[in-house]
Structures are given as C-alpha cells and as structure tokens.
Amino acid sequence: MKYIVAMLLTVFMLPAHAELDWQAALNGENRAVENKARDSYRHPVETLQFFGLQEGMTVVEISPGGGWYTEILAPLMNDKGTLYAAHAGLNAPGSYYRNSLGKYLQKLAAEPDVYGSVIITQLQPPRETAIAPPGSADMVVAFRNVHSWMRADSAEAVLNAIFAALKPGGVFGLVQHRAGPDTSIEAMKKSGYVSQAHVLALASAAGFELAAESDINANPKDSADHPEGVWTLPPALRLGEKDRKKYLAIGESDRMTLKFVKPR
C-alpha cells in the first residue's frame, strides 16, 4: 500500500513539461556572431511562435543552407522533439549544392552536443523527395526558398513532398521575399522576390489551406526593385561598396510570413 501511495504521489508531483527555452536557443554559443546580427531582420522567435512550434513536435527544415535557422531549431528540439534537415542530395547537380551540403554536415559534426540529434535527409526532386517518413511531421518550415524552387522547376515536387511528410492538421510555415502583385514569373526567378498570390496558388495546388499570415518579417523600406534583386540588400550586398549605405539603411528584404495547414 505504501508503495502504491508513493507511486501516486510521484506521478502527481511530476513537473509539467518545460516551455521551450527560446532565449537559450537565441543566445547559444553555437550561433555565429554574424547570424545573431540578423535577428533584428528575421525575428526567429516571433516567427517560430507564429507557426506554433511546441515541445515534442517533429519538425522538418527545408533546404537549411548554411544552417541559420538550424542553429536555433536544434537546441529547441534537442531532447524536446525531433528535427529533420532536408538538405541537398548527395548527387545534386552542380557543385553549389554539394558544397553547401558538405559545409552543413561539417558544421553539425563540429558540435555533436548541439546538433547530434538532427536527422539529415535529402531533397533533390525528382529522385529524392522523402524528407521525413510519410505523415510523421507536425511542422515543416521553409525560409526564403520558393524562388530557388521556381528556378529549378521543382516547386510542385517540393510542395508535394512537404504535404506528404506532414500529418493531417500539420503546419507548413513559410517565409519568402515578397514581390509586387504584377511581377512576372521570370522576374520572380531572377530577382528572388515572389508575389504572395503566386505562393498561395502553388500551396493551394499542393493541397494546403492558408491558416494565417503575419507582417512579422515585413519591411516597408524595401521596394523589391534592385539591380541585383534581393541580393542587392544585406547580407549579400552584391554591389559591394556601391550605394552600400543606402542598402544597409533599407535592411533585409520585405517578406511574407504564411502559415498553411494540411487538411485533416
């Protein structure tokens, strides 16, 4: 009897699940100094909270590049969820994607305590689209990727892969450089800015429903009309010293922040 009572007391006295430690993830030593400097433009905590990130979720980050968001997501999900990183294919065409994957893998291997639980998958349509087990993900996030999908004519395949990976009711969170409504498809591919109407059309065709939108990452200073497209602005600053102060004053691009759901 004493054993049963003690066991019941232990159960009822167990602490509730801790909240995700946003500040620890934001200020972690694993984050590069130059990446922390971008927080004022990219609002990572507000963005992930808007998408509804919670403890215990299975999350897929699409095309993580150099790992800007991985630096935040990995500590948040470490022991409190599962994080997949759907990077480029091992046999991706072109050295850019292979080099990007190689540097990303080196980054993760250098800090196993932070990144050791990240599961790497490949996203290289049409051959590699299994970004996570079918119907396993609570959330998929993609940051400033849509123009790249369009350039590769893979937007449909990528969105279908995301849809397949999500559970019914799962969230697809998207941030993308925002073009004006009358921007042509070719101009979108060239500039990196994509119209919100086009993003909505692509997502709807894949089966997603728009749940909410936010101006968390909006920048009214950005005209979305620059000589080198979005890469004219920081952090790329492709014009070098030419009009540098002007583009630094604008800051990073104007971005849409959209929350889609996979219907139940």
Give the structural domain span for 135.
36-261
Q: Which helix (H) or strand (E) holds 170?
A: strand 166-179
pLDDT in tens, 2-44: 333 333 333 333 334 458 999 999 999 999 999 999 999 999 9
pLDDT, position 92: 77
Residue 19 lies in a domain: no
Contact assessment for residue 224 and residue 177, using Cβ atoms and an 8 Å cutoff = yes
The parts of the chain modelled with pLDDT lower than 70 are 1-18
If we measure between CA atoms, which residue out of 142, 160, 86 comes closest to residue 256? 142
Residue 146 sits in a domain whose CATH number is 3.40.50.150
Looking at the structure of the chain, the number of domains it has is 1
Contact assessment for residue 44 and residue 72, using Cβ atoms and an 8 Å cutoff = yes
Residue 235 preceded by cis peptide, ω within 30: yes
Residue 207 lies in a domain: yes
Residue 82 lies in a domain: yes
pLDDT, position 75: 97
Residue 2 lies in a domain: no
- CA torsion, points 56, 262, 130, 84, in degrees to nearest 10? -30
pLDDT, position 18: 53
DSSP letters along 125-161, please?
TTTB--SSSTT-EEEEEEES-HHHHHHTT-HHHHHHH
Residue 18 lies in a domain: no
pTM: 0.92
Residue 28 lies in a domain: no
pLDDT in tens, 207-229: 999 999 999 999 999 999 999 99
